Chain A
Amino acid sequence: MKNWLRQHALCLAATLGRLTRTPLASLLNVGVIGVALALPLAFYVVLANVQGCARANAPTPQLSLFLKIDAPAAAAREIEARLKKHEGIAKYRFIARDQALADLKASTGLADVIASLNRNPLPDGFVVDAKENSAAVLEKLRDEFKAWPGVEHVQLDSAWARRLDATLHLGRLIVLGLAALLAFALVAVTFNTIRLQMLTQRAEIEVAKMIGATNPFVRRPFLYYGALTGLLGAAVGWGIVWGGLRLLNDRLAGLGQLYDAQLRLTHLSLPDTLSLCLFAATLGWLGAWLSASRNLAELEE
C-alpha cells in the first residue's frame, strides 16, 4: 500500500516535471482544452443566471379555487381545513363572496352595473400559493383540487411557467449537446497528445517493458498527464469565463444604473466548479488511457 502510494507520488512528480520540460507544447495543449471548455461553460453560466433571475422575478403563478355558488359555509370550512393540512401549499387566502363583490365594485368602476344586480353572482373562493412553482406541480395540484367536493372550478395560469420551463429545458439541452461535443474534443486532443508522446518515448517504453515494467507502470505517467492537462484546461476555461464576466459586469453595471436596476452575472458556484474540474480531469484521463492502452497493445504484437 505504501509502495503503491509512493509509486503514484513519484509518478505525479515526474508528470509535473514533464509538463514543465516542454512548456510550450503543454501550454498550447492546456490552452486548446481551455478554449474548447470556455464556450459551453459560458453558455451554462448565462443560462444559470437567466434561470435564477427568471425564478426570482417571475410573478408567482397562483391557483384560484372557486366553490359552487350555493355552497354552504361548512363546505368552505372543510376546504380550508384540507388546504391547511396540504403539504404542497405555501399559503392560501379565503375570499368570501361578499368581499369579492366589494373588491370588484371598488376596483373596476363597475359600481352601477353591480348595484343593478339583484344577487351576488360571485362564489366563495381561495387563492393558493404552492410551495413549488413548476408547471407540472401546479397542474397536479389543480387536478387534485378539482376532485374535492364543493369545488366548482380551479383556475391556473400556468402558461408563463410552462414557457419558462420549456425555454430553460431547451437551454439545458444545448448545454448538454455542447458538453458532449466538448467531451469528445477533449478525449480526442489527449488521445493524440499521448500518442505523440509515446512515439517519442518508444525506446524508453520498449526497454522498460523488456526489463520487467508492467503495462500499468508504463501507462501511469501518461494517465497523470492526461488528467492534469484536463484539469489545467478546466482552470483556463474557468478563467476565460471569469474574465468575460468581469468585462460584461462592468458594462451591465452602467446599464443597470440607467434602468435603476441591479444587473450582475454571477460565475459558477463552487459545486459546479468542482464538477467541471472532475469532468475535465476524468475525460483527459480517459483519452490518455485509450491512447496508451492502444499503443501498448501495438507494442505487444
Chain B
Amino acid sequence: MISFSQVTKRYPGAGGGYEALKSATLDIQPGEMVFITGHSGAGKSTLLKLMAAIERPTSGTVLVNHQNVSTLRASALPFVRRNFGLMFQDHKLLYDRSVYQNVVLPLNIIGYNAAEAGKRVRAALDKVGLLAKEKAMPVTLSGGEQQRLAIARAIVHRPSILLADEPTANLDAAYALELGELLRSFNQVGVTVVIATHDEQLQSRLQPRCIALAQGRVTQ
C-alpha cells in the first residue's frame, strides 16, 4: 500500500539544508496499524508528509497504491492525497469556521452534493461524539474535543489510510487511551492506520507494529 525505498528528504536551508530523513526503506501493508516512534526531530512528521504526498522526496521512491509520488505531475498529487485522512500535529483546524464547516471541507473538495455531505458529516461527528457541537466554533471546544474534531475531518471522506501525527499529545492518559481505541476501531474496519507518537502507554495498549526512527534513519 505504502512503500518507501531509499528515501531521503532534505529541507532547503543554510549550509546545504537539513536531511530530515536518510535513505529510509519501509513497507506498509493494507489494513495494518503501524506506529512511527522516535525522539523529537527524528523525522516522524516528515515521514508522514512524504506518505501523503505533501512533501516530495529529495531522492528515492515513494509508492502509494503503486503510484510513484516522486515522478507524478503536480496536478495529479491532489488525487493521491485524497486516499489519506490526515490528523496534523498542530490540528490545522479552521478557527473561523464552525465544526460542521471544518468537517465538510474534504467532501467539498471531492465534490459531494450537500445532502450526501451532510449525512457523512453527521456520521463522522457522531462517531467522535461531537454531534451536539455541530454549530460550535472550534475555539469553544476543549483540547480533547478539538482532537476529535480533527479525527472527524480526517475520516469523513472514508479514506483507505489514516495518518495521525501525535494524536494523543496534550491529552490525559485516560483520554489518550480512549482516543487510541477509536483509532483502533477504524483499523478494525479495514482502514490502514499510521500513527506518529512517543506515547508509550498507547503503544503497549494497542500492540502495533513499530517503525523506530533516530536522526532520520529507520532503526527497526
Contact = CB atoms under 8 A, between A and B. Distances in A.
B105 interface: yes
Interface in A19-62: none
Contacts of B153: 211
B-side interface size class: 20 to 34
Q: Is the interface of A mostly helix, strand, loop or mixed?
A: helix
A211 B81 contact: yes
Contact of B82 (A10, A204, A206, A212): A212
Contacts of B97: 204
B194 to A, nearest CB: 16
A230 B86 CA distance: 38
B9 to A, nearest CB: 16
A211 B86 contact: yes
B106 A211 contact: yes
B113 interface: yes
Contact of B52 (A3, A208, A210, A217): A210
Interface in B46-98: 52, 54, 74-75, 78-79, 81-82, 84, 86, 88, 92, 94, 97
B169 to A, nearest CB: 19
A296 to B, nearest CB: 10
B74 A300 contact: yes
Contacts of A300: 74
Residue of A207, A211, A300 contacting most chain B CB atoms (<10 Å): A211
Contact of A212 (B88, B94, B109): B109
A7 B110 CA distance: 9
Contact of A207 (B52, B75, B94, B114): B94
Given A204-B94, A207-B105, A7 B74 contact: no
Given A211-B86, A212-B78, A212-B81, A10 B94 contact: no
A210 B81 contact: yes
A-side interface size class: 10 to 19
A214 B105 contact: no
Contacts of B52: 210
B105 to A, nearest CB: 7
A74 to B, nearest CB: 80
Contact of A211 (B75, B105, B113, B114): B105
Contact of A215 (B75, B81, B84, B106): B75
Contacts, number: 48
A217 B107 CA distance: 12
A270 interface: no
Contacts of B188: none
Contacts of B40: none
A210 B105 CA distance: 12
Contact of A203 (B75, B94, B106, B114): B94
Nearest to A207: B92
B128 to A, nearest CB: 17
B75 A212 contact: no
Nearest to A218: B109
A214 B111 CA distance: 11
A140 interface: no
Contact of A3 (B79, B88, B111): B111
27 contacts: A4-B111, A6-B111, A10-B108, A203-B94, A204-B97, A206-B92, A207-B105, A208-B105, A208-B109, A210-B52, A210-B86, A210-B88, A210-B92, A211-B82, A211-B86, A211-B106, A211-B109, A211-B153, A212-B78, A212-B79, A212-B106, A212-B109, A212-B110, A213-B78, A213-B109, A217-B78, A217-B109
Given A203-B92, A209-B78, 4 more contacts: A10-B108, A204-B97, A210-B92, A213-B78
